[in-house]
A and B are shown apart, each in its own frame.
Chain A
């Protein structure tokens, strides 16, 4: 058991970064219970790694590495049936007047990203989180040139998927 002040620091860190953990959980699962399990597993892995975090890298880099490693390399059962997430299963828009329209767009975005391979999903997530290519390289271990190529390709795929979902073409 780690000291309470250490635990308090950790809980504060999680509180500040809950959103990022939810986004990772939502991108790598389709069902509500799977998402909750993944969220919980990420918290456990972060807590296990917390005593060894000495600030060698940025907190966000450390957090995304653990969250993505947990999501990507987990041996979860393969679900072959495609279930589109409903409004309850992804993070909601906050502080916005036209939130309904925005939530629709967000839902389409989640659906489109989930159709990408696991690694591309991580790249898109970090891009949307406004991470620099340098930090993306630091998190994923993929060189920046490859990241840029992959990102451009993912953008095209997402655009096409959203168009197909919207207009059926």
Chain B
């Protein structure tokens, strides 16, 4: 059976399997990958704003303001998170061009998704020194001071070594996680782009 002979049959197909009423579909949200990623990002941002906001308020108020420096640390970390989310959101916004040619859209998705993944890796690794700085330079000394305990010896060395080791560990963990999340999809997109050029 030649394909050209089947063309007529193909073109005789009806559209009776389509939903009769399209209008309700227009009110629905997209379930596409980028829309889902945006929704997740918005949820994460809400969680960060609420938890960091509450934590900073607590530290500004608690112990008659003695811990306010910790409150500021939470404000700064929260702002860094907001910047991180905005950057990711912008990348997601530029990831799709649905009315572009299929090849251009795929190519754009690969480029932006790779940037997104790099940003994920960098931010995921950079968070460790930030939290280590918070824990070792603000939280632990403050708690020790409030409990009347003396300062620790060789503290800086311990902090540096600990931070480096944790950063390395988290870099690889993060890479593994990001690859698990997006690796197969990027591979699939690249394969399709190769198929397009392949004769």
Contact = CB atoms under 8 A, between A and B. Distances in A.
Interface residues of A, number: 71
Interface residues of B, number: 45
A21 to B, nearest CB: 7
B10 interface: yes
29 contacts: A21-B18, A36-B19, A39-B19, A40-B28, A43-B26, A53-B99, A65-B101, A65-B102, A65-B105, A69-B100, A69-B102, A73-B105, A74-B33, A75-B33, A75-B36, A92-B16, A92-B17, A93-B14, A108-B1, A109-B9, A109-B10, A124-B3, A128-B7, A139-B101, A140-B103, A141-B102, A142-B103, A154-B3, A159-B1
Interface of A: 7, 10-11, 14-15, 18-19, 21-23, 36-37, 39-41, 43-45, 47-49, 52-53, 62, 65-66, 68-70, 72-75, 90-96, 102, 105-106, 108-109, 117-120, 122, 124, 127-130, 138-142, 145-146, 149-150, 154-155, 158-159, 162-163, 166
Query: Which 9 residue pairs of A and B lie closest in terms of their CB atoms, listed nearest first?
Result: A141-B103, A141-B101, A75-B33, A94-B14, A91-B13, A18-B15, A19-B15, A18-B18, A128-B10
Interface of B: 1-3, 6-7, 9-19, 22-23, 25-26, 28-33, 36, 96, 98-106, 109, 185, 189, 192, 195-197, 199
